[in-house]
Amino acid sequence: MQRFDFAGATAVVTGAASGIGAALAHALAGRGSDLVLLDRDAERLDAVAAEIRAEYPDRHLHTYLVDLADAAATARVAAEIGQRHPRIRLLVNNAGVGLGGRFDQVTYDEFSWVIDINFRAVVQLTHALLPMLKAEPGAHLVNVSSLFGLIAPAGQTAYSASKFAVRGFTEALRHELVDDGIGVTSVHPGGIRTRITENARIGSGVSHEEYAAGRAQFEKLLTIAPARAAEVILRGVQRRRGRVLIGWSAKLPDLLARVLPASYNRLLVTGLNRGVARPAPPASVPSTTST
């Protein structure tokens, strides 16, 4: 498969109002791509669009305001994108949300909210826009999973379930779409400085004191700039890589999980106690991209 060509491409990016999504939008515009940007935060999305239009006035850019937790709204936006942009070369399912709390500390509705945004919306948008990708030679699909799509620490049942699902969905699609000439990449960010801790919900059974302590500890691990993460992702897309891990905070736990699949959590906890970065404690929120 030839390298991905960004110039003149139409790229769809979800969660584009901040974090990795906003950084991807800027980087794609710099590579010559036209943009279709989705988010639920109108003010921030407008600001990102204005910055890109000012810096790259020749780029075509459309924005869509949508809450991906709403399946009907997602379907309407997907249909409109399909009509207005019949040839899409790149789809990046980047939007994601977090939920702090163990399985017995969250409600079923809270659990489902995470699954809806992090997994169902990925499947729904991919299904709706796949015909457009197939119509564009050299197309590519990117689904952003997480470090917690590689390991599953205590306190992240909903988030890990959603991100492992994204990983499995993406890997199967990679095998299915190879004969169509469509590249597929699963992305697993480590500690990226995004707004997901601000947007995360707290499980109904989690005390605010417990959550605050976990969040403060976890935020110390968010050391990678979104712009750096975007460059790593787009380099992987250009090279048609099937999986992209960002940072040692993703690569080291992935290695431990491969070597010690049933006991890596104990080593990660020990590492944290000795000052080595590891995934968030039970009441904290996960690290990945966010709307």
Residue 213 CA to residue 184 CA, distance in Å, equals: 38
Residue 224 CA to residue 35 CA, distance in Å, equals: 24
- Residue 154 has a pLDDT of 84
Q: What is the mean pLDDT of each run of 10 residues along the chain (291 residues)?
A: 96 97 98 98 98 98 98 98 96 94 95 98 98 97 96 91 98 97 95 62 77 57 83 98 89 82 72 47 41 40
Q: Hey, which residues are catalytic here?
A: 159
- Residues 6 or more apart whose CB falls under 8 angstroms from that of 75 comprise 124, 128
Query: Is 0.85 surpassed by the pTM of this model?
Result: yes
- Residue 276 has a pLDDT of 44
Structural domains of the chain, ranges and CATH numbers in brackets = 10-273 (3.40.50.720)
Contact 149, 105 (CB under 8 A): no
- Residue 259 has a pLDDT of 85
Separation in Å, CA 261 to CA 95, 219, 257, 264, 265: 28, 26, 5, 6, 9
Separation in Å, CA 194 to CA 30, 176, 231, 290: 21, 32, 15, 7
Q: Is the dihedral of CA 44, 119, 166, 33 positive or negative?
A: negative
- Residue 159 has a pLDDT of 95
Separation in Å, CA 208 to CA 102, 153, 157: 14, 20, 19
